[in-house]
Structures are given as structure tokens and as C-alpha cells.
Amino acid sequence: MTEFVATTPGVFPLPDWAKDQLGSLKGHQKEDLVDGSEGTEITDVYDETRATVADWQATAGLDRVVEGQLRWDDMLAHPLCVHDAVETRGIVRYYDNNNFYREPVVSGELTFDGDLADDLDALGEIDPDAPTQAAVPGPYSLSELATDEFYGDEGEFLDAIANFLAGEVRAFSDVETVFVLEPSLVTNPPGDGEDERASEAIDRVADATDADVVVQTYWGALTEKVHAHLLDADIDAVGYDFVTNHEDNLYNINEYGTKEEVAFGLADGQNTLVEEPEKIAERVAWVDEQTPGAEFETMYITTNTELFYLPVSRCIEKLEALAAGAARAAEVAQ
């Protein structure tokens, strides 16, 4: 019997009141962004926003609650952008989006920071019983978003980032699930040899926690080889983006198999058109039908991408659609 889990990859939009308030408190230039040393006034606002988005998720009825990654001014590059051994330089484009982040340049050893664990602890204080989910950038994506001026070798740099992320994940207090976001595996696939190393790097991060680890891939499908290597990692599920490319993702699953748990990106994180719950349930049934060889223990039902691309009202509606869609899928499956 498949368990349906409605959740998201995290990285939420700030509530509109906080957009204004934080803009006024912090400023609008690149030197004004989060660096890990925010004062009480700014921290208080973030605490309040975290409670707000936790409430959105609880009210919608999601099965996992993320802290929203609201401090991630630099999106997936955040854990490096706040690190002491990293300088942030110019504003660079975030994948093929009309979004920008500060380029993190690693200029020293990537030692333990604790920034991600602190935010998760802050979520835990809001509702200690909530089924918590963490989100972290995948080591390969984070290495692709950054520039190395310390390690000097691509392989060593990836290893260093994997060790750093593993340290951060090890510091997480109780979480049910960890989503590891790896869009770069799709958008800029690792070449021969590098693909194996990327998989080992993910393995190292996954090994740092007892929670279920889901590696979410998006903006297309993995190449066959990268997919095959990813399955070698000791993770619980691969996330597939069925919004942007259902054909190749289906092919990968049917041709190479997948883990016993799976995540399906079935709602569009980058479009304001809100899917009907019935539509989401139909997509679940369709994917299940199209993968006759697979029997899933757990199916995570999510948006394909992070959620910060959306205006707040539509983001909340997406959460509701995911929760209702997963509930409907469970009914249909019975």
C-alpha cells in the first residue's frame, strides 16, 4: 500500500508584509543581503515569517512542514553565501530564470557553520510535534553555483562541499525527511567520471542523517547515465519533474528502475495556474499506471521547483492543491 505524502521542495516566497519590512530594514543592494550576522530586529522578522509559512503549510494540510528557507536571499547558494570562508561578488543569473544571486567565491576551508540547523531549530520551537522536513542544496548544484579559489581542483571542491553539507545535515535535530535539491544534475549534467563523483557526494550527504533523503531533480530529466549513477547513492527517493518533461523521466524510471520511494513534481512551481486536486490525483494515477514495474512504498507529491517564483496568494493555493491532490490520490488508490 503506497503512502502518499504531500510536501514541497521549500524556498518559499516571503509574506508580502515581510518583503517591505525586510527591504526597509536590510536595504536593496547586494551588500545588504543576509550574511549570517543579522541583528535581533531582522531575526525577529524572520522568526515571524517562519511561523507564517508554517501556518500556511499546516492549514493547507501538507504532510511535511519546511521552515521555508526565507533567509535564503541567494536561493540554493545560501549556505555558502553566509559562510565565513566565502566572499560574495557580483550578481549572477540563477539558472535560466529572471532571478539573480550573489556569486559565492570560496576562498578558505569550508568548516562547519550550523546556519541551516539553527533555522530548523527555530521551526521546531513553533510546533515541536510538526512533521519537519529540511531542504538543502545538493552538493553538485552548490558546487556549480559557486566559484572555487581555494581547493584548486574540481573533484576536491565537490568533495569539500559534500563534507561541508554532510556536517550541516548531521547537526539537524529530528527531521522526518531531507530534500536535497539538485537541479544542476539536469541543467548542466556531470560528464564521465564526474557523474560517479556527484553520486558519491550525494551519498556522503545522505549518510549524515537517519531521515529519509529525497534527491529532487528539476528543469527536465536526468541523462540516462547520470540517473543510473544517482541510483547508486544510498538515498531513499529520487524526485522527478513531471511538469517540464514527463516522457524522459518516465523512460528513466522504466528503463533503470528507481528507489522504493519516489517524489513526483506534479504541480508547477513556476506558474500561477493552480492545478485542480483532481488533476493532481489523475497525474498520480497516470504515472503509476505508466510505471508498471515499480511498486512504491512512499510517493512524495510536490511542486517540481522551489516556490519563491510565485506570488504569495498563488503559493498558498498550490499548497492546498498539493494536500488535497495527495488525499484524493490516496482515496483513488484504495
Partner 1 sequence: MSREQFRPAGHPNEHFILTTVVGSYPKPKWLDRVRELHDDPEGDFDDGEWEEATDDAARIITHEHERAGLDAVVDGEMRRNEMVEFFADRIEGYEFNGPVKVWGHNYFDKPSVVSDVEYDDSWLVSEFEFTDGVADRPVKVPITGPYTLASWSFNEAYDDDRELALALADLVNEEIQKLVDAGARYIQIDEPALATTPDDHAIVGEALDRIVADLPEEVRIGLHVCYGDYSRIYPEILEFPIDEFDVELANGDYEQLDVFKEPEFDLDLALGVTDVHVAEVESVAEIKANIQKGLEIVPPERLTVSPDCGVKLLPRDVAYGKMENMVTAAREVERELDAGEIEVGAAVADD
Q: What are the residues binding partner 1 (CB under 8 A)?
A: 13-14, 16, 19, 22-23, 26-30, 32-33, 73, 91, 93-94, 96-101, 270-273, 308-314
Q: Please, which residue, 111 or 188, has the CB nearer to partner 1?
A: 188
Length of the chain: 334
CB of 22 to partner 1, least distance (A): 6
CB of 308 to partner 1, least distance (A): 6
Q: Which residues pair with 101 in a beta bridge?
A: 92
Q: Please, which residue, 281 or 310, has the CB nearer to partner 1?
A: 310
CB of 90 to partner 1, least distance (A): 10
Q: Please, which residue, 95 or 240, has the CB nearer to partner 1?
A: 95
CB of 103 to partner 1, least distance (A): 12
Q: Please, which residue, 97 or 290, has the CB nearer to partner 1?
A: 97
Q: Please, which residue, 96 or 289, has the CB nearer to partner 1?
A: 96
CB of 75 to partner 1, least distance (A): 9
Q: Please, which residue, 47 or 176, has the CB nearer to partner 1?
A: 47
Q: Please, which residue, 89 or 170, has the CB nearer to partner 1?
A: 89
CB of 100 to partner 1, least distance (A): 4
CB of 93 to partner 1, least distance (A): 7
